[in-house]
């Protein structure tokens, strides 16, 4: 089997939910790809006044994306920085912790279950979704103990981690604070009075600071790809690019270290979009915001809007743009948040969706 099917799989796995401050809809579709490698998490009531949303776009397999969907939010929740109110630090540490957890005996075992064997072992769908409706939540997974993984011994205790990987784009909302952590080319965008503002940046190898790190770590860039293979400069997993024992994790050829952006939600903020590059390959940030705003005039179910985005992006034939897996989470803020300060004067005004978005990135 090649990387594309003879006909696209257009069945969609969708979900809607809400609390007193927001509504969300999520959906995922395999499309033309031969396998589904995306995963996502949607937890509106993460911890008291906090909500957690994330998109994970896997490459080279689905195991790492599924691993992140199952465990990354748990690491955020239990981190001392999170408990102290420091969302940014807890997110950064959770991203890096994923690489640590995937090494050794238990990491190898979990990846085997969450990868190619998942459909045989449990019958679950290929694109893993974590939500309050998931088995993990019902069985008390928020209390899962994962700190001892690295100490487990066994025949694969020398396992350095998977050579497949995943992007991670996470948005955490607490009261009127919004924190976005991103590694890779999945993207988070907020609509303010109809203007699209990127809250993350796509980590491509040809970006100057990414290129500098890659070269200094001993890597190279060929045809826009790290060492001629990976078209991402940051990702969770991809252990083959993280083997330099003399460098810290944030300076490896490919790093899981995320960019973290923290902004204050103001009265003009309408909705948040988190999506994989299968969407952004086909629509710019502003184009998608315009489309969602138009849809909201006629459609109240947010997951249906996500599904319509997929249909709009899906290519008529295999190859090129519109042939990737597609995953999207749409979060609508229910009511204005009264705040003394507006982010329009600080981070967002300097980072609106630009014409650069209209030039498509290469699909993985």
Question: Does residue 359 lie in a domain region?
Answer: no
What is the pLDDT confidence band of residue 48, given thresholds at 50, 70 and 90? confident
Question: Does residue 11 lie in a domain region?
Answer: yes
Whether residue 15 is predicted with pLDDT greater than 50 in this model: the reply is: yes
Per-residue pLDDT, averaged over 358-363, amounts to 35
Question: Does residue 162 lie in a domain region?
Answer: yes
DSSP 287-335: HHHHHHHHHHTT---HHHHHHHHHHHH--SSSSSTT-S-EEEEEEEE-S
Q: Which domain holds residue 342?
A: 4-144+155-201+260-351
Question: Does residue 29 lie in a domain region?
Answer: yes
Task: Round to whole Å and give the CA distance between 247 and 197.
Answer: 34
Question: Does residue 274 lie in a domain region?
Answer: yes
Would you state the pLDDT for residue 150?
55
Would you state the pLDDT for residue 336?
55
The CB-side HSE value for 291 (13 A sphere, CA atoms) comes to 21
Task: Round to whole Å and give the CA distance between 322 and 316.
Answer: 8
Q: 242 has which bridge partners?
A: none
What is the pLDDT confidence band of residue 134, given thresholds at 50, 70 and 90? very low
Would you state the pLDDT for residue 116?
61
Convert the pLDDT of each residue in 300-355 to its tens digit: 999 999 999 999 999 999 888 999 999 999 999 987 544 434 443 344 643 545 43
In three-state secondary structure terms, 12 is: strand
Domain count, the chain: 1
Would you state the pLDDT for residue 244?
93
The DSSP secondary-structure symbol of 157 reads T
Would you state the pLDDT for residue 3?
87
Whether residue 38 is predicted with pLDDT greater than 50 in this model: the reply is: yes
Per-residue pLDDT, averaged over 92-119, amounts to 86
Task: Round to whole Å and give the CA distance between 216 and 242.
Answer: 13
Question: Does residue 213 lie in a domain region?
Answer: no
Percent of the chain clearing pLDDT 90 (strictly above): 74
Per-residue pLDDT, averaged over 164-175, amounts to 97
Whether residue 143 is predicted with pLDDT greater than 50 in this model: the reply is: no
> Which position has the higher pLDDT, 95 or 1?
95
Convert the pLDDT of each residue in 252-277 to its tens digit: 999 999 999 999 999 999 999 999 99
- Can you give the CATH number for the domain in which 284 is found? 3.60.40.10
Instruction: Find where tokens 């689905």 sit.
Output: 62
Q: Which of 261, 220, 214, 216 is nearest to 235 (CA)?
A: 214
Mean pLDDT of the chain: 86
Q: Name 287's Cβ contacts closer than 8 Å, sequence gap at least 6.
A: 357, 358
What is the pLDDT confidence band of residue 356, given thresholds at 50, 70 and 90? very low
């Amino acid at each position: 089997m090649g990387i594309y099917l003879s006909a696209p799989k257009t069945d969609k796995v969708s979900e809607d939910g809400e609390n007193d401050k927001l509504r969300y809809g999520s959906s995922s579709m395999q499309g033309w790809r031969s396998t589904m490698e995306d995963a996502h998490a949607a937890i509106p009531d993460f911890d008291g006044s906090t909500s957690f949303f994330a998109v994970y776009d896997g490459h080279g397999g689905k195991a790492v994306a599924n691993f992140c969907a199952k465990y990354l939010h748990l690491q955020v929740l239990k981190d001392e920085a999170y408990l102290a109110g420091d969302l940014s630090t807890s997110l950064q540490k959770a991203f890096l912790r994923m690489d640590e957890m995937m090494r050794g005996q238990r990491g190898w075992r979990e990846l085997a279950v969450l990868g190619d064997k998942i459909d045989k072992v449990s019958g679950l769908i290929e694109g893993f979704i974590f939500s309050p409706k998931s088995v993990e939540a019902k069985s008390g997974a928020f209390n899962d103990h994962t700190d001892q993984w690295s100490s487990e011994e066994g025949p694969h205790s020398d396992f350095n981690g998977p050579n497949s990987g995943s992007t991670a784009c996470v948005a955490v909302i607490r009261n009127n604070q919004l924190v976005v952590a991103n590694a890779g080319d999945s993207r988070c965008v907020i609509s303010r009075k109809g203007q699209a503002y990127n809250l993350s940046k796509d980590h491509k190898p040809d970006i100057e600071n990414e290129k500098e790190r890659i070269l200094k770590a001993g890597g190279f860039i060929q045809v826009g790809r790290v060492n001629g293979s990976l078209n991402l400069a940051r990702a969770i997993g991809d252990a083959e690019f993280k083997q330099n024992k003399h460098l810290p994790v944030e300076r490896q050829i490919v790093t899981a270290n995320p960019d973290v952006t923290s902004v204050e939600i103001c009265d003009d903020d309408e909705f948040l979009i988190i999506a994989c590059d299968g969407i952004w390959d086909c629509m710019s940030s502003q184009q998608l915001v315009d489309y969602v705003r138009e849809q909201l005039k006629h459609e109240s179910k947010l997951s249906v809007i996500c599904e319509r985005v997929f249909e709009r992006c899906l290519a008529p034939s295999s190859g090129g743009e519109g042939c990737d897996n597609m995953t999207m989470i749409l979060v609508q803020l229910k009511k204005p948040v009264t705040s003394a300060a507006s982010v329009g004067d600080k981070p967002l005004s300097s980072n609106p969706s630009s014409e650069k978005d209209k030039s498509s990135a290469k699909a993985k």
